[in-house]
């Protein structure tokens, strides 16, 4: 295929992915109120207010959009995989498909980790701090922005082992060099925990930074396994002797 054909195929696959996200968002829009009630559960008895006319309407579109994106992730990854696979060798294809499947699993694992660990820890800290001074009554829009952004950013942060695996698969970085940079990774994980957590409370930042650091070492182990079982590349053949 020519470059123009590749770009046309990429355009079509991006368009299909966007259509899948829109369809997922429209489907979730019909069930947005139950979704909002589920998202309100970690807040416990906190009261939520609509501070402006139409605020909940815009919140509904936002929640449906995030939910539609989450539902469409497997199809989006499939489109990306279908675009990349024809250009890979047989050995690379054997590894790239599990890598993409693992990416989807890690994304949902990140969402689950955020839901069960990060959000309760963050809300518990934020509610208890100053509870004897102020009564917590929150804006529904800001609360959902906090929850949805934290879940999405954690899902994306959990893609680190997949990125490491791809770098190792294409021979760009070896596992020993990855491991030698662990101090920088811990520092970057701490910074990422501060940037990706909307609340910037120390508990949530520490949990997310610890999760990212742990995932880095998982990625190093995956790259080491790939290097161990990868067949050695035969040396280049010597150039033919010049004719006498």
Q: Helices then strands (H, E): number in the chain?
A: 10, 2
Q: What is the pLDDT, as a whole number, of residue 233?
A: 47
pLDDT tens sequence across 141-178: 999 999 998 898 899 889 888 888 878 877 788 888 88
Q: What is the pLDDT, as a whole number, of residue 231?
A: 55
Query: In the chain, where are the structural domains located?
Result: 3-229
Q: What is the pLDDT, as a whole number, of residue 200?
A: 66
**Percentage of residues in the chain having pLDDT higher than 90:** 25
Is residue 210 within 8 Å of 118, Cβ to Cβ?
no
Q: What are phi and psi of 201, to 5 degrees?
A: -85, 150
Which of residues 20 and 206 earns the better pLDDT score?
Answer: 20
pLDDT at 88 over 60: yes
- How sure is the predictor about 181, in pLDDT bands with cuts at 50, 70 and 90? confident
pLDDT tens sequence across 135-148: 888 899 999 999 99
The structure tokens 């909940």 sit at 56
- How sure is the predictor about 68, in pLDDT bands with cuts at 50, 70 and 90? very high
Is residue 165 within 8 Å of 226, Cβ to Cβ?
yes
Handedness of CA 215, 104, 167, 196 (dihedral sign): negative
Q: Which residues, in sequence order, are bridge partners of residue 13?
A: none
- How sure is the predictor about 66, in pLDDT bands with cuts at 50, 70 and 90? very high
Strands 47-49 and 137-139: parallel
């Amino acid at each position: 295929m020519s470059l123009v054909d590749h770009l046309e195929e990429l355009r079509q696959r991006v368009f299909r992915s966007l259509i899948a996200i829109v369809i997922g968002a429209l489907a979730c829009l019909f069930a947005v109120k139950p979704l909002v009630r589920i998202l309100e559960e970690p807040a416990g008895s906190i009261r939520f207010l609509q501070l402006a006319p139409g605020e909940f309407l815009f919140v509904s579109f936002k929640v449906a959009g995030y939910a539609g994106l989450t539902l469409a992730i497997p199809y989006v990854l499939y489109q990306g995989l279908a675009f990349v696979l024809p250009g890979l060798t047989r050995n690379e294809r054997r590894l790239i498909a599990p890598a993409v499947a693992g990416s989807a699993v890690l994304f949902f694992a990140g969402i689950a980790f955020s839901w069960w660990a990060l959000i309760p820890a963050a809300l518990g800290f934020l509610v208890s701090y100053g509870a004897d001074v102020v009564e917590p009554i929150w804006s529904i829009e800001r609360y959902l922005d906090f929850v949805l952004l934290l879940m999405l950013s954690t899902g994306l942060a959990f893609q680190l082992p997949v990125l490491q695996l791809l770098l190792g698969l294409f021979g760009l970085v070896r596992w020993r060099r990855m491991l030698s940079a662990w101090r920088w990774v811990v520092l970057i994980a701490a910074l990422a925990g501060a940037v990706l957590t909307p609340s910037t409370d120390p508990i949530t930042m520490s949990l997310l930074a610890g999760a990212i650091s742990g995932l880095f070492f998982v990625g190093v182990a995956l790259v080491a396994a790939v290097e161990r079982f990868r067949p050695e590349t035969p040396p280049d053949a010597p150039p033919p002797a010049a004719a006498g």
